[in-house]
């Protein structure tokens, strides 16, 4: 192939522009990205060589070499991994294959800080080289291809790149960065070692640099020992040394890994700029042996809600990298967890299909899910700082460092991931009880999402035999719902749920610790022992007296309401809508419709408040028909819905107002 010039995919060109402008403040990550690519390339070679050991040619020691040339202003990262064919160089370095690229680029705002966050999450990878280089040359030969089938790829990082065929004896890839004038500091041994130490120490591959030694300058004037010498300098010795630890981080004993190293490893595997919230690192022994290193990120990724999003677990088998995003290793509701699992038992040639069926994998998945839950339980336990207790002499307990470090983390976790965790109620029956304890809600006594079901139970009134909750689109909607009136009057706490998944998830939670969960918008309200006898009696009498009115209302609203009945749940409002006990809530039906999904037609029950002036006025009114419809439509509006025929509603109200 003779030299040809090709254009970058439009998104790449856009991304490149942003990379060089937004990541400026965090330049040095380019090295982490390029070393990570080199390491991936070696992983791929090792993986392909499982079935074809010839791919190693005569060069089985996989490694990465860093070399710089101060005079030429270049920094070169060379690996002897899988390499690239010409077509692969065009495909992989000219386009971004990742799904959601367009979407991602469209989210970038031009705000440097916000963008670098997003770019970090997305992972700019190879293109980060352009932060420090105004030109990048890549030379490569794919393992197994002939020497004259090498490729050279060159680009200035603007709209296009050049490719041509070259002869290259060495297998693998060299990325040659032509450093910008303001990035010449990277052509220095100590600077490179410093960055490797910070970001790439955990890479299991040796990273080599040529040893340098100090050389005195030449003596110009032998009679003048001190003044007559040229300045000295570092010179290369031709000897290569390993500058990283070169052992996979997760294989090291916990005590040998610092928090900082755990954090950098997390950043490297997750492409997150921020530190993780917490992690757990264990060797699991028993019938299935594996090592797990699992992290909970500090922030939810932008595609958290995509249930097809791959879990962030990398699978290794006996240190050999097998695959990214091994979704079989964690249940879907824990898809936000990042980390590594290294199994001693799985076969090296394991495929995704095989993973789904393997009993070892099932044991690993169960083990990982349990670990994540333990980690969360621990954070939940330490969320609030213990009250500093003073003893008799007035000496206050010192809050431990561990307590301080963990305080507030569960709240942070729950804000980011609480809603996803709830999916677990429907997905992970074995851990349902543990999950239920981890849930937090707002309530009529707490605006913040901090009430656990156990807190709620501890505050239940004497004679209360259910945990009451309401679901709504917004907190304000939930709080001001007419259905809550009687609960407020009696001082009974009600959980306010506003996450989209709540309605669905609560289907799977019939009770907590023996106490039933009861939606206040479903079924007839039965306050049981909380209702006093005189109230009960008054209600029964009213029901008898208003029978004819209810029958008339039912007839007038027969197309809209399943039934019309009296209720004691209302105090200030004339009417509200509820659904039958087993029915789908109106809110869920609305949500499904908005999402374009088939939802059953939910015909609610209209409940009226016999004590309300408007209801008292109904009987015998000449406007009975209009009032009946207004009553219904208002109840619908009050709970966040819209009348079927809004114009008709407005007309009716206006007619009465006039």
Under 8 Å between Cβ of 609 and 537: no
Under 8 Å between Cβ of 419 and 504: no
Residue whose CB is less far from ligand ADP, 79 or 264? 79
Residue whose CB is less far from ligand ADP, 81 or 424? 81
Binding partner of 411, given Mg ion, ligand ADP, none, CB within 5-8 angstroms per partner class: none
**Least separation, in Å, of the C-beta of 422 and ligand ADP?**
31
Residue with tokens 């939606």: 519
Q: Does 125 bind ligand ADP (CB under 6 A)?
A: yes
Binding test (CB under 5 A) with Mg ion, winner from 125, 172, 312, 367:
125
**What angle, rounded to 10 degrees, do the helices at 359-381 and 409-427 form?**
140
Q: Does 339 bind Mg ion (CB under 5 A)?
A: no
Binding partner of 334, given ligand ADP, Mg ion, none, CB within 5-8 angstroms per partner class: none
Binding test (CB under 6 A) with ligand ADP, winner from 49, 66, 84, 136:
84
Residues in the chain: 658
Contacts of 209 (CB under 8 A, 6+ apart): 65, 66, 67, 189, 192, 193, 240, 241, 243
Binding test (CB under 5 A) with Mg ion, winner from 20, 22, 37, 204:
37
Residue with tokens 């000897």: 239
Question: Residue with CB nearest ligand ADP?
Answer: 125
Q: Does 587 bind ligand ADP (CB under 6 A)?
A: no
**Least separation, in Å, of the C-beta of 37 and ligand ADP?**
3
Count of residues that interact with ligand ADP, criterion CB under 6 A: 16
Residue 104-123 contact track with ligand ADP, rule CB under 6 A, x = bound: -------------------x
Say which DSSP state 270 is in.
Answer: H
Residue whose CB is less far from Mg ion, 125 or 276? 125
Binding partner of 339, given ligand ADP, Mg ion, none, CB within 5-8 angstroms per partner class: none
Q: 3-state secondary structure string, 390-443? A: ECCCCCECCCCHHHHHHCCHHHHHHHHHHHHHHHHHHHCHHHHHHHHHHCCEEE
Under 8 Å between Cβ of 189 and 38: no
Residue 607's alpha-carbon distances to 522, 534, 550, 612, in angstroms, are 11, 21, 10, 12
Contacts of 236 (CB under 8 A, 6+ apart): 210, 211, 212
Residue whose CB is less far from ligand ADP, 33 or 502? 33
Which of 273-280's residues contact partners 24+ apart within 8 Å by CB, and which partners? Answer: 273/26, 273/116, 273/117, 273/120, 273/121, 274/298, 274/299, 276/338, 277/379, 277/409, 277/412, 277/413, 278/375, 278/379, 278/406, 278/409, 279/339, 279/375, 280/371, 280/372, 280/374, 280/375
Binding partner of 41, given ligand ADP, Mg ion, none, CB within 5-8 angstroms per partner class: ligand ADP
Q: What is the DSSP string of 612-635?
A: SHHHHHHTT-TTHHHHHHHHHHHH
**Least separation, in Å, of the C-beta of 140 and Mg ion?**
15
Q: Does 585 bind ligand ADP (CB under 6 A)?
A: no
Residue whose CB is less far from ligand ADP, 19 or 442? 19
**Least separation, in Å, of the C-beta of 84 and ligand ADP?**
5
Q: Is 384 helix (H, G, I), strand (E, B) or coil?
A: coil
Q: Does 173 bind ligand ADP (CB under 6 A)?
A: yes
Segment 508 to 567, residues that bind Mg ion, using CB under 5 A: none
Which two structure tokens, joined as six digits, stand for 650? 């407005």
**Least separation, in Å, of the C-beta of 324 and Mg ion?**
11
**Least separation, in Å, of the C-beta of 128 and Mg ion?**
9
**What angle, rounded to 10 degrees, do the helices at 547-556 and 624-638 form?**
80
Binding test (CB under 6 A) with ligand ADP, winner from 41, 527, 530, 566:
41
Binding test (CB under 6 A) with ligand ADP, winner from 18, 19, 82, 589:
82
**Least separation, in Å, of the C-beta of 271 and Mg ion?**
9
Please give the residue ranges that form the binding site for ligand ADP (CB under 6 A): 33, 37-38, 40-41, 79, 81-84, 92-93, 123, 125-126, 173
Please give the residue ranges that form the binding site for Mg ion (CB under 5 A): 37, 125
């Amino acid at each position: 192939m003779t030299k040809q010039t090709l254009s970058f995919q439009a998104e790449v060109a856009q991304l490149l522009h942003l990379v060089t402008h937004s990541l400026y403040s965090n330049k040095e990550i380019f090295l982490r990205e390029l070393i990570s690519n080199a390491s991936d390339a070696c992983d791929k070679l090792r993986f392909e060589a499982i079935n074809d050991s010839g791919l190693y040619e005569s060069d089985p020691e996989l490694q990465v070499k860093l070399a710089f040339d101060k005079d030429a202003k270049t920094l070169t990262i060379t690996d002897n991994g899988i390499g690239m064919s010409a077509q692969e160089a065009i495909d992989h370095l000219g386009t971004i294959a990742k799904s959601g690229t367009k979407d991602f680029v469209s989210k970038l705002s031009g705000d440097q800080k916000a963008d670098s966050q997003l770019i970090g999450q997305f992972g700019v990878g190879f293109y980060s080289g352009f932060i420090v280089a105004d030109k990048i040359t890549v030379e490569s030969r794919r393992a197994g291809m002939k020497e004259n089938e090498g490729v050279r790829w060159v680009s200035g990082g603007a709209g296009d790149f050049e490719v041509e065929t070259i002869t290259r004896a060495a297998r693998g890839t060299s990325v040659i960065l032509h450093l910008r004038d303001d990035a010449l500091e990277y052509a220095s041994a100590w600077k490179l070692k410093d960055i490797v130490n910070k970001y790439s120490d955990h890479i299991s591959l040796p990273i080599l640099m040529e040893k340098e030694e100090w050389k005195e300058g030449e003596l110009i004037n032998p009679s003048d020992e001190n003044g007559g010498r040229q300045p000295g300098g570092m010179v290369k010795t031709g000897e290569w040394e390993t500058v990283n630890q070169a052992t996979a981080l997760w294989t090291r004993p916990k005590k040998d890994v610092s928090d900082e190293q755990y954090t950098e490893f997390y950043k490297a595997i997750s492409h997150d700029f921020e530190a993780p919230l917490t992690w757990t690192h264990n060797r699991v022994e028993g019938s299935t042996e594996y090592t797990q290193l699992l992290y909970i990120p500090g922030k939810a990724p932008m595609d958290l809600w995509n249930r097809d999003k791959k879990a962030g677990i990398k699978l290794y088998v006996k240190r050999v990298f097998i695959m990214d995003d091994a979704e079989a290793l964690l249940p879907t509701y824990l898809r936000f967890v990042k980390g590594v699992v290294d199994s001693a038992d799985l076969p090296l040639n394991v495929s995704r299909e095989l993973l789904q069926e393997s009993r070892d994998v099932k044991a690993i998945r169960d083990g990982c899910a349990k670990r994540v839950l333990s980690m969360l339980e621990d954070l939940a336990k330490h969320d609030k700082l213990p009250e500093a207790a003073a003893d008799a002499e007035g000496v206050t307990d010192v809050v431990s460092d561990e307590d301080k470090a963990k305080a507030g983390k569960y709240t942070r976790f729950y804000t980011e991931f609480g809603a996803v965790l709830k999916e677990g109620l429907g997905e992970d029956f074995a851990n349902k009880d543990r999950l239920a304890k981890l849930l937090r809600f707002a309530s009529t006594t707490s605006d913040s999402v901090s009430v656990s079901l156990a807190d709620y139970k501890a505050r239940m009134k004497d004679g209360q035999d259910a945990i009451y909750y309401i679901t709504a689109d917004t907190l304000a909607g939930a709080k001001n719902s007419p259905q809550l009136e009687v609960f407020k009057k009696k001082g009974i706490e009600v959980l306010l749920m506003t996450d989209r998944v709540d309605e669905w998830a609560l289907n799977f939670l019939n009770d907590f610790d023996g106490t039933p969960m009861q939606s206040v918008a479903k079924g007839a309200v039965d306050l049981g022992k909380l209702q006093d006898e005189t109230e009960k009696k008054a209600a029964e009498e009213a029901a008898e007296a208003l029978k004819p009115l209810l029958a008339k209302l039912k007839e007038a609203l027969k197309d809209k309401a399943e039934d019309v009945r009296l209720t004691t749940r209302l105090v200030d409002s004339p009417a509200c809508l509820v659904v039958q006990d087993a029915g789908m809530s109106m809110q869920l039906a609305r949500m499904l419709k908005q999402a374009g999904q088939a939802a059953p037609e939910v015909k609610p029950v209209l409940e009226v408040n016999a004590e309300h002036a408007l209801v008292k006025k109904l009987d015998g009114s000449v406007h009975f028909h209009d009032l009946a419809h207004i009553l219904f439509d208002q109840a619908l509006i009050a709970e966040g819905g819209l009348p079927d025929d809004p114009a008709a509603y407005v007309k009716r109200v206006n007619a009465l107002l006039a």
